[in-house]
Amino acid sequence: MSGKYQTLDVNEEAQPLEFKSFLGQPDAAVEPAPAATSSRRGYTTDRPVSTSFWQVEHYQKWFDVDTNTVLMRCLMSMYPIDSHLTGPEGPDLYGPFWTLTTLILALFVSSSLASSIASYLSSEPTDYNWTLLSVAVGLIYIYGLAVPTGIWAVLQWSGVQECSVVECLSIWGYGMTVWIPTALLCIIPVPLLRWGLTLLAALISLAFIIRNIYPILATAESKSVRLFVIVFIVLHLGVALSLKIVFFSYYVAKPIG
């Protein structure tokens, strides 16, 4: 058809549509933040590291951990043959916080029940000692939070750069897991059984801590740094003895005369 209008040949091959951007060249892809790694511990995380110390996001990465991972680490901490913190997640603070908090409640509740049972069998009146709750809070949080932080500071001063404060808190926090079932079992009013459970829990938790902290000490250039293990042993056994005396010293007293 000639003239002003032309017809479109339906048999003509259709040309594909092409789109052209007028916004300029796209920006270069933003590279993700480097992951936190540790060649000695064998974990690698893809969680970005925040640069601001005062932001909540700076601490969020240490609480972003799977529940199954926390439960597995709690169980592994009670298996001293192969109990060490490994895995792609790295150390965390979520598990240690709830482990220490649960232990405080377990100590107070089990100690109160042990006192009630001893009072019932002895036919003597008893009352709940709320002071034990504050004692449990102070003792557990100091040993589980303040002590590993101080140990990290000493290791940094000694030239050990392979350890972070989060890793120390994670080791000591998970290391106290075994004391939770121990506290519940110590409700049984048998002195010999209580001493045996306390000794067993002390050895299991100490084995977990030493197994995880000794490779850190071994990275120091000075061999004398490894002697810190002796300090850890004495301190840990002292805490175990304090738990036994303060919370599980209720016995059945028989009337005399």
Q: Measured between alpha carbons, how far is 234 from 118 in angstroms, rounded to an integer? A: 31
189 contacts 116 by C-beta, under 8 angstroms: no
3-class SS at 171?
Answer: helix
In a domain, 102, yes or no: yes
Q: Measured between alpha carbons, how far is 109 from 130 in angstroms, rounded to an integer? A: 10
Q: Measured between alpha carbons, how far is 11 from 6 in angstroms, rounded to an integer? A: 15
76 contacts 212 by C-beta, under 8 angstroms: no
In a domain, 21, yes or no: no
In the chain, the number of structural domains is: 1
In a domain, 45, yes or no: no
Task: Annotate 169-185 with b (16+ C-beta within 10 A) or e (fewer).
Answer: bbbbbbbbbbbbebbeb
Q: pLDDT tens, 65-112?
A: 778 878 888 888 888 666 566 555 678 888 889 999 999 999 999 988
Q: What is the mean pLDDT of the chain?
A: 75
Residue range(s) defining the domain that contains residue 104: 53-247
**pLDDT number for residue 205:** 93
**pLDDT number for residue 196:** 94
Question: Who has greater pLDDT, 44 or 194?
Answer: 194
In a domain, 185, yes or no: yes
**pLDDT number for residue 254:** 55
Least confident segment among 46-60, 118-132, 183-197: 46-60
In a domain, 113, yes or no: yes
**pLDDT number for residue 120:** 72
